Structure formats: structure tokens, C-alpha cells
Amino acid sequence: MCTARDETEQRRQQRELKLFQQAIEQAADGVAVLKDDKYTYIDKTHIEMYGFESKEELLGDSWRRLYDDAEIERFETEVFPALEADGHWRGPVTGTQPDGTTFPAELSLTIIDDGRLVCTVRDETDRKERERELELKERAMDEATVAIQIADATKDDNPLVYVNDGFEQITGYEPEEVIG
């Protein structure tokens, strides 16, 4: 007796799975899957973000390699209890590369039906640097004395209608002396 089966559906599913895996591998966020605290899947972005060369360096190893003692303690006292209670957790972490370099990251953890843990991570170094630069610029503006004056352009002699405190500090004129 000979049995024939339609492999069209199986091939379609394999193609979709391959496309899905390629999408994950090309994403800007790192993706990993852990079982019993050990990596069972890890994508290229995750590997590179944490300063490793290949997947083999982390597959089968513990996630604890990627964080310092203080961050591991925080995971155990804050992150994992929240993860167990809600099934997911998202927040800031500080990753550590093999050379000791640290970087800020946004981490998302989700427990899936079979008990495995799906981890996505985004390097926040560039965003944190932009925030720091903006804060420095805002602080410099706050500390700078700027003279502001507003004139009425509808009148021929353009009288001043507003001056700020900086105008007085820079020019020495009281607002009442120059407005109007």
C-alpha cells in the first residue's frame, strides 16, 4: 500500500517560519529565548549588543553573564517577582559586555505558555546621549542671561512694548524707562 500526502501546507509553514526568523534576525532589537535561565535561542542583534562574536558563546549559558552583581540582585528582588505576578515585565537595565563596558538598555521579558522566557532588548545608548545633550542645552539656556525686547512695528518709531529681566541686567535700563 502506498500513501501520498500533500506537503504544500507544510512547505508554506516552513517558508513562513523562515521569513519570521529572518525578520527577527534583522530587527534593531535583540531577541532571545531562555529555558531554566539558559539561552536556547539568541539572535545576531542580541549577541552584538552584549559584545559577543557568535551565538555559540552564549547558547546554553546563563543570562547572568550579561549583568553585574548589582543588576542581577535587582533582577532577583524586583524584576522576577513582577514577572511571575504579571507574566511580563518591561523596564530599564544596564547591560555589561565581556570587556566590562556597560550600556543602558530597555528590556522586555515575557513568559510563554511552555514556561520559556522571551527576552527583547533595545540598546538605549544613543537615546540617553541625546537626552543628556538636550538637558545640557536647556541648563545652559536657563543659566544664560538673555535680553529680550519686543517693539511695536506698526508705529514709525518702533517703541518697545516689552522687555524682560535680562534686558535690565544687560542694559542697565529699568523697563519703565524704555517702554512706550
**CA dihedral of 49, 51, 52, 58, whole degrees rounded to 10:** -70
Q: Which residues constitute the domain of residue 160?
A: 143-178
88 in any annotated domain: yes
* 108: confidence class by pLDDT, cuts 50, 70, 90: very high
Residue 152 has pLDDT above 60, yes or no: no
Q: Which residues contact 150 (CB under 8 A, 6 or more apart)?
A: 160, 161, 162, 163
pTM, two decimal places:
0.62
Same domain? 148 vs 122: no
Q: What is the mean pLDDT of residues 12-32?
A: 66
Same domain? 44 vs 106: yes
Same domain? 20 vs 89: yes
Same domain? 122 vs 58: yes
In the chain, the number of structural domains is 2
Q: What is the mean pLDDT of residues 161-180?
A: 72
3 in any annotated domain: no
More confident residue, 173 or 42: 42
What CATH number corresponds to the domain at position 108? Answer: 3.30.450.20
Residue 138 has pLDDT above 80, yes or no: no
Same domain? 29 vs 70: yes
